[in-house]
Amino acid sequence: MRVVRRIFGGDVDPAIRPLVILQTFGSMAASCLFTFNGIWALEHLGATPTQLGIAFLVMAGAAMFTGVLGGHISDRIGRRPMMLVGRGVFSLGALGALAAGDNALAGLTVIVLVGALSSLGDAADSAMVADLVGPDEREGAYAALRVASNFGVVLGPPVGGLLLARSWNTLFIGAACLSMVAFVLAWMLIPQRGRYTPEQGDEQPPVSVVFRDRPYMALLAGSVLAYMVYVGFELLLPISAVQHHGIDRSLWGAIVIVNPLLVAVLQLRVTNAAQRFSPLSRMVAALALMGPPFLILGVADAVPVVVAIVIVFVFGEMLWVPTLQAIAVDRAPAEQRGAYMGAFNATSGAAFALAPLLGLTVLSHFGDEAMWATMAALAVIGSVVFAIVLRDRHMVSNT
């Protein structure tokens, strides 16, 4: 454990170590497969870009629904069963790609179903953190899970590439095996209950209660805006860097790996160092680092400048994600953590649906600089939303 502390900058609470192990293998499986999904659909299945775009849009919308539903069910029957369902569905879905053969409709259907149904366990994963550790430890716990997730993202694509060098079927079988490892680990390591798991009452409030909680909905609105800026980095920056700023495709592949590597090594250090500042200060600083620096591309776009923008963005990302996750789970009533975290997780799906549509529309009509001005504006608006919402002390402490 001393070596782990030296590499990653902190220790991991023993209560969440099973989740960290599970997250690593689950993230490896997901990145091993999803990294190549689009290529498989376009090159092997012969799907058109429009068909693939529609499939991703349907998948994102369905995942938002199943995420909330899965969280609500986990409030009733426990987190562990839904965590097992998510991993099991992913394994079966990866094998389902084998059955699709070279049929485009069948393959796109598999992509949609795997993305949507595997999301049934996402909210249970998030809520389980709050079941296992107390409020003071939750932000650090979410930071540790981000380290595990990004470590899996670093390992998954190279593993997938090695498997794909043999055949598509080898890739699908390998991804299924990795996900099955996660399933077995969840079965063996995840407890039925945590120290902070709430007692179940005779009547469970309906899931609609979440959407009638106006302060929480305001928090989720800010989350959508922040995630849209993040999606700008994930999906729009590669297009901008390669097509509009002359970055070679291979070089971009080397640049973008900086993101998960820095998160894996620095996330716990950044989270621990930032504890002296208020959650509101951290959120405003995070969005200031994530959005406005993209405006520099309109003035300078040399490779060192692009690398610097990526590094600055990663520091904002490391401030933002664990802080907002901790706020979201602390604001949720204990007996409805799953449903609330399902709604919170759905904000990323909404952003992945909205940000490319908005950003690429602006890009096609007004140009690259206008697109990044739009992302910067979203960051500023998100900061304003968080400033309004987090003024309420109830939003940063469990009531």
- The CATH number of residue 272's host domain is 1.20.1250.20
Question: Would you state the torsion angle of the CA atoms of residues 8, 14, 17, 19, taken in this order, to the nearest 10 degrees?
Answer: -120
Give yes or no: residues 307 and 252 share one domain: yes
Query: Average pLDDT in the 315-343 region?
Result: 91
Q: Each residue of 294-327: pLDDT tens digit?
A: 999 999 989 999 999 999 999 999 999 999 999 9
- Rounded to an integer, the average pLDDT of 213-218 is 91
Co-location of 58 and 148 in the same domain: yes
Counted domains in the chain: 2
Residues whose CB falls within 8 Å of the CB of residue 333, separated by 6 or more in sequence, listed in order = 205, 340, 399
Say which amino acid occupies 189: L
Task: Write out pLDDT tens, residues 53-70.
Answer: 788 888 888 888 898 899
CA 133 to the chain's CA centroid: 21
Residue type, 79: R
State whether 251 and 367 are in the same domain.
yes
- Residues 242, 376, single domain; the answer is yes
Do 19 and 167 belong to one domain? yes
Q: Do 185 and 39 belong together in one domain? A: yes
Does some domain include residue 253?
yes
Domain membership of residue 143 (yes or no) is: yes
Instruction: Decide which of 168, 193, 218 is a domain's last residue.
Output: 193
Alpha-carbon torsion angle 43, 45, 48, 49, nearest 10 = -60
Round the average pLDDT of the chain to a whole number and report it: 86
Query: How would residue 392 be classed by pLDDT, with cut points 50, 70 and 90?
Result: low
Let me know: does 130 contact 193? Beta carbons within 8 Å. no
State the pTM of this model: 0.81
Q: Which domain holds residue 138?
A: 15-193
Q: What is the mean pLDDT of residues 162-168?
A: 86
How many CB atoms neighbour CB 254 within 10 A? 10
- pLDDT for position 254: 78
pLDDT score of 204 more than 80:
no
Contact 70, 81 (CB under 8 A): no
Lowest mean pLDDT among 113-127, 271-285, 384-398: 384-398
Distances (CA, A) of 263 to 32, 98, 117, 122: 19, 34, 28, 21
The residue whose two tokens read 């569905």 is: 89
Residue 367 lies in a domain: yes
What is the share, in percent, of the chain residues with pLDDT greater than 70?
94
Q: Which residues neighbour 189 within 8 Å (Cβ) at sequence distance 6 or greater?
A: 18, 21, 22
Whether the predicted pLDDT of 1 surpasses 50: no
Q: How far apart are CA 292 and CA 374, in angstroms?
A: 10
Per-residue pLDDT tens over the stretch 346-387: 998 889 878 888 888 888 889 999 999 999 999 999 999 999
Asked if residue 179 and residue 51 are part of one domain, the reply reads yes
Residue 223 — very low, low, confident or very high, per pLDDT cuts 50/70/90? Answer: very high
Give yes or no for a contact between 131 and 194, defined as CB atoms under 8 angstroms apart. Answer: yes
**113-141, pLDDT tens digit by residue?**
988 888 888 899 889 999 998 888 888 88
**Looking at the structure, do residues 166 and 213 belong to the same domain, yes or no?**
no
From CA 199, how far away is CA 334, in angstroms rounded? 9
Mean pLDDT value across residues 215-229: 94
Q: Check residue 263 and give its pLDDT.
A: 87
258 and 178, same structural domain?
no
Q: Which long-range contacts (CB under 8 A, 24 or more apart) does 91-98 make?
A: 91/176, 91/177, 91/179, 91/180, 91/183, 92/176, 93/117, 93/118, 94/29, 94/33, 94/172, 94/173, 94/175, 94/176, 94/179, 95/172, 95/173, 95/176, 97/40, 97/168, 97/172, 98/169, 98/172, 98/173
Across 307-339, b (16+ Cβ under 10 Å) vs e yields eebbebbbbbbbbbbbbbbbbbbbbbbbbbbbb
pLDDT of 398 > 50? The answer is no
- Is residue 306 within 8 A of residue 314, CB to CB? The reply is no
Q: Is residue 60 in some structural domain?
A: yes
pLDDT, residue 42, reads 80
Phi-psi category of residue 29: left, alpha or beta, with phi > 0 → left and psi -120 to 50 → alpha: alpha
The reported pLDDT for the residue numbered 7 is: 46
Q: Does residue 132 sit in the same domain as residue 245?
A: no
Question: What share of the chain in percent tops pLDDT 90?
Answer: 26
CA distance 74 to 231: 28
Residues 300 and 253 placed together within one structural domain of the fold: yes
Claim to verify: residue 161 and residue 218 sit in the same structural domain = no
* Domain-terminating residue out of 128, 163, 193: 193
